Amino acid sequence: MKRALALLAFLLGWLVLGATPASAHVEVLSSTPGDGARLSAAPSLVSITLSENVGIQPGSIKVVDLTGRQVDSGPVFQPGDVAEQVGVRLQPDLPDGSYLVEYAFVSADSHPVRGTFAFVVGTGPLVTSAGAVSAATGTDAAVDAVSTTVRWLAYVGVVLLGGLAFLVLCRPAGRTDRRARRLLYWGSGLVAAATVATFVLQGPYAAGRGLEAVFDTGLLADTLRVAYGKLLLLRLAALAALTVLLPRLLRPGLPDRLRSRYENVAMVTGFLVLLTFSATGHPVSDPIMFVSVTADLVHFGAIALWAGGLVQLALCLHRPADGEDLTAVATRFSRIAAGSVTAIALSGAVLALRIMPSLETLWTTKFGLLVLLKIAGLAILLLVASRSRRAVRRGLAPAPADGATAVVTADVRKLRLAVGVEVLLSVVVLALAALLTVTPPGG
Ligand code: HEM
């Protein structure tokens, strides 16, 4: 125990003091020409150096003259050896005058970064980029709200799918329970629908447009070109594989070898689904990305295991199979829940410390407030869970094998209530998580 505490203290010390925390989103470090530059001759290209490598994003840099005429020519490209530097060529022999550069990049964590700068060729007046673009740099409020709701629904779907582990590890009798299976299919359908919605919303989100732009083919193509869009497609493919696998994996009387093969494939596809979330959020903005992405995978995996198990346990307590030993089911789950909660708390702490620019962020920003609310949510969940554990330790009456109405003991009733409250609280904390992922860590 002492060793575990010492290890934890060392880990937290290293995370807080030893390593550079993640920056917020991608930033523009410099540009050529610089903002406000006055040049004697027209440049042949405009380039921008960013704080992270976002790849080549077509249409991400546009240069216009004072009449709004586009003067760049050719695609966005990498003009040098630096992966973080991108640029666009200009039309030859540009006349003297003022030019405005508009850029819009989608950072690795899927958030848009937009802005402008200006330069002058010759003796013309210098336009300042301030004001000209202020209305175009935000995101649309309706798109923001729908995107956050969709993210929350995706989390609920992942949790429902996580119930598969409960059926495999804690309640083998539930494999043939139609309601238990249906929960898994709803989960997979919900994640798939939310993924399609996320894909069509990303274009308007990144471009600062409204909901009417969700079917704009140009924006859909833009989303497809960036890593985020590709990862969403990977999520859909992994979900399709998992959905095809489900009835095979849950078939009763499956030979052991085949069952373990199906279980391995289910684990790999489940891992891919989780990875598409971790690889498209704030964890990728950590300079030591491996730490945050791994912590996020552990965090979300443990949540799916725990909250998915809670939903299935609630169903099992209300409709046990004939002769089902509820104590055995609840005891098996109780062990998994204890391990998962420890993993959630530790990985959540690692994530918060890596993603927040400083410890002070915890009490001075909206991001910090949301993290504190999540910690409070977990503390209340643990309080309710301790009631469940007490009921399980006392033992629960098995469901009668002859189909007669089960005698609902006071302990089963208490456990039902406690598990029901835990499920509801988890849904609320998932909503806090969805809000957290769209909130800039520094603000
Ligand atoms: C000690 C308690 C917890 C802390 C400190 C914590 C902290 C965090 C942090 C910092 C993130 C990363 C957010 C981002 O990407 O911007 C995160 C993600 C998340 N958390 Fe927690 N969390 C805690 C408990 C929970 C609980 C109890 C749940 C669910 C019932 C939960 C659900 C999630 C989900 C779904 C994500 C998003 C994963 C993803 O999109 O990859 N967290 N959490």
Each residue of 51-83: pLDDT tens digit? 777 777 777 888 888 777 889 988 888 888 887
Question: Is the pLDDT score of 250 beyond 70?
Answer: yes
Quote the pLDDT of residue 10. Answer: 52
d(CA 14, CA 233): 36
Neighbours of 183 (CB within 10 A): 22
Asked whether 11 lines ligand 1 (CB < 6 A), one says no
Q: Give the Å distance between the CA of 420 and the centre of ligand 1.
A: 21
Q: Give the Å distance between the CA of 322 and the centre of ligand 1.
A: 38
> Which strand ranges, in their side-by-side order, compose the sheet holding 61-65?
37-39, 112-121, 97-106, 61-65
User: Measuring from atom 6 of ligand 1, which residue has the nearest CA?
Assistant: 348
d(CA 355, CA 367): 10
At 391-417, the pLDDT tens digits run 777 666 566 655 554 555 667 788 889
Structure tokens at 359: 């410890």
Question: Is the pLDDT score of 5 beyond 60?
Answer: no
Asked whether 102 lines ligand 1 (CB < 6 A), one says no
At 293-315, the pLDDT tens digits run 999 999 999 999 999 999 999 99
Question: Is the pLDDT score of 3 beyond 70?
Answer: no
Q: Give the Å distance between the CA of 303 and the centre of ligand 1.
A: 9
The reported pTM is 0.82
Q: Which atom of ligand 1 lies closest to the CA of 155? A: 35
Q: Give the Å distance between the CA of 280 and the centre of ligand 1.
A: 14
Asked whether 437 lines ligand 1 (CB < 6 A), one says yes
Mean pLDDT of 179-203: 96
Quote the pLDDT of residue 4. Answer: 44
DSSP labels, 48-99: EEESS-----TT-EEEEETT--B-EEEEEE--SS-TTEEEEEE-SSPPSEEE
Quote the pLDDT of residue 406. Answer: 52
Q: Say which residue the tokens 């998992």 belong to.
A: 242
Q: Which atom of ligand 1 lies closest to the CA of 282? A: 15
pLDDT level of residue 131 (50, 70, 90 thresholds): very low
Question: Is the pLDDT score of 13 beyond 70?
Answer: no
d(CA 302, CA 284): 20
Rounded to the nearest 10°, the torsion over CA 294, 300, 301, 305 is: 160
pLDDT level of residue 17 (50, 70, 90 thresholds): very low
User: Measuring from atom 34 of ligand 1, which residue has the nearest CA?
Assistant: 433
Distances (CA, A) of 261 to 241, 251, 305: 14, 13, 20
Of 437, 295, 278, the residue nearest 11 (C-alpha):
295
Please work out, in degrees rounded to the nearest 5, the angle formed at the alpha carbon of residue 168 by the alpha carbons of 162 and 174: 95
Question: Is the pLDDT score of 355 beyond 50?
Answer: yes
